Amino acid sequence: MSEGRLISAELKLAGRLDARFFGLLEALEHTGSINRAARTAGLSYKGAWLLLDAACNLAQEPLLDTATGGAGGGGTRLTDAARGLLDAWRTLQHDHQAFLREQESRLAHMPALHGLLRRMSMKTTARNQFAGIVSALSVGPVSAEVTLALKSGDEITATMTSAAAKRLKLKKGQEALALIKASAIVLVTDFAGWQLSARNQLAGTVSRVEAGAVSSIVVLTLPGGAAVTCSVTNEGVEALDLKVGSAATAVFKAYAVMVATHG
């Protein structure tokens, strides 16, 4: 997905001829050499031939004109059939991109859907991503603290440098995302009268436990419906007797929260 693009689709001809294949044909058109074309298209020599052979075997007319040695020095060139196929691809690709831009423009006039897709468009390894509204903001000389109010009614507080807060142009009422790695979350099932310094403490119910070789993924569902994913060692799961239906609290420091804004 290109930057800012919320709608994407891959164009293929005959279910198999994609951008890689036509990129190879374009490189062949310019270089006249399978070896050089493969390097230009980012393919191995063998990989290039696999693509070409598969297409050539299905075509009714030859796609390649190969000459060896001689005064011209040999090489591989596209036949008229291959050039016609490449021209058709260029036209279809142009129309395809124009169609996607048109749909993107239509989407911009659907604020609710556009906002939802924009929030879902970020690709990150952080398991936990929550959309919220900045409900409180305090910016000091060195550090800043921001609180996001989630739709579920829960709140998440993050700390960052003042420079980061200014770079994000944070302000009250602004939409933002909170990202927390699963490994940064500690689960507590019994505080035994103790209080923790961690700012974020979200109480919920264990809804899923996925055991792995060394650690388990534990999903906690909050009363508002939001889900928090935690990474817990198998020993920790056993010690806390974590199972579906167990009450637990997800605890994480404010500095473990990354905040993202759009634009």
Each residue's pLDDT tens digit, 30-75: 999 999 999 999 999 988 888 888 888 777 788 888 776 544 445 8
User: Which residues make Cβ contacts (< 8 Å) with residue 1, sequence separation at least 6?
Assistant: 8, 121
Cα–Cα separations (whole angstroms), residue 227 to 29, 123, 128, 190? 53, 18, 8, 20
- Count of CB atoms situated within 10 Å of the CB of 243: 10
Closest-CA residue to 77 (of 21, 17, 34, 22) = 34
User: Which residues make Cβ contacts (< 8 Å) with residue 11, sequence separation at least 6?
Assistant: 18, 19, 92, 93, 96
Tell me the whole-structure pTM to 2 decimals. Answer: 0.58
Tokens of 184: 């940064």
Each residue's pLDDT tens digit, 140-157: 999 999 999 988 888 999
Domains by residue range for the chain, with CATH: 19-107 (1.10.10.10), 124-179 (2.40.50.100), 182-252 (2.40.50.100)
